[in-house]
Amino acid sequence: MSQALEFTLQARCGETLARTGVLHLKHGTVHTPVFMPVGTHGSVKTMAPRELEELGAEIILGNTYHLYLRPGHTLIDSLGGLNRFMSWDRPILTDSGGFQVFSLGDLCTVHEDGVRFASHIDGSRHDFTPALSMEIQMALGSDIAMIFDECLEYPATREVTRRSMERSITWAERSKAAHGKADQALFGIVQGGFEADLRARSAAAMRHIGFDGYAIGGLSVGEGKDLMYRVLDDTVPHLPEDAPRYLMGVGLPIDLVEAVARGIDMFDCVMPTRHARTGYLFTGWGRINIKNARFRDDADPIDPACACYTCQNFSRAYLRHLFISGEILGHHLNTIHNLHHYLSLMAAIRRAIGEGRFGAFHREAAHQYHEETCHA
């Protein structure tokens, strides 16, 4: 058992691979399946830590690439680590910076030891390696660190995918060798694109190296839902039963339900916070666009069934007014609602699994959510 992480399974669904569990980490306990709000710069946009706690967030995500560039991991370390820096006393997972570096496109060059890139802030040149990613994450002091892996563009040929997967295995070995923080868990990341055999090889390699948890990367990059779900069906059986499974960067509420049914325990995505800032709000029947003129005089809340602060106190008309007027309060209230929707969904999933009714919950959700279109 890792000194940094203890994972206990509690309940299983009899019809699917869904399960509940408890993660014990340095800064507290996390109940799975769990959604992690994204705090890119050490802040979940528009939200104070106290508000995140009130919404029931048990763990958030910080971004290694952005915190390395500004304000710098050495500064954060000197001020007591990321938890103290942002006044968040619950667990934090930090990503490795890989996705952000590779998203720079022409500004980055991959080599066998890592990635050379130009900062999006000032154009300064940097070399990101597995060892540096580990150094940064150890300095940040997060509860869970991620290995440094290569993130592919979609689509990619099988040969490109194979070489990338093998490079990620090498970097996983180097990440583990460079990681030396006993109270910080380290997760491996399974790559392999949309090739079932490559995913299986990557998963086997990650298990051989040995990590506290296992993530599935390289999804939600433009592929259709059926393809994403197929990769999960192909990959999850190759992951250890007794370790947490993390699906990175996914996704819409229905995606979370479908992935839980396939045995996933942890999720993160910018969608609820980013959508909030562009006026798209989640409800039990799909998304609405609060900018729509039909809400100009609508006295109803976003979702009459929602218990969040926004829905209990403000009308669609008011929220539309704030958005059209460019008022920051509108972004804040929208974010409260969207995060409440996601976190409440995960709580409902955990209850359904624990009470032995997730199979029915899963079927109902497939009909209830219509996320591919934006309603009203």
> Would you say the C-alpha torsion 140, 141, 147, 152 has a positive or negative sign?
negative
Q: List C-alpha distances in Å: 131 to 135, 138, 274, 353.
A: 6, 11, 31, 39
Tokens of 51: 């508000």
Pairwise CA distance, residues 28 & 341, whole Å: 23
Query: Dihedrals φ, ψ of 191, to 5°?
Result: -115, -170
**Which residue, 96, 73, 94, 93, is CA-closest to 28?**
93
- Alpha helix segments (H runs only) across 151-270: 158-178, 196-209, 225-235, 253-261
**Which residue, 246, 253, 220, 266, is CA-closest to 339?**
253
Q: How far is CA 347 from the centre of its chain?
A: 16
Angle CA(317)–CA(321)–CA(323) in degrees, nearest 5?
Answer: 120
Q: List C-alpha distances in Å: 157 to 153, 193, 234.
A: 10, 9, 19
**Which residue, 285, 265, 284, is CA-closest to 350?**
265
Catalytic residues: 95, 268
Angle CA(108)–CA(219)–CA(342) in degrees, nearest 5?
Answer: 115
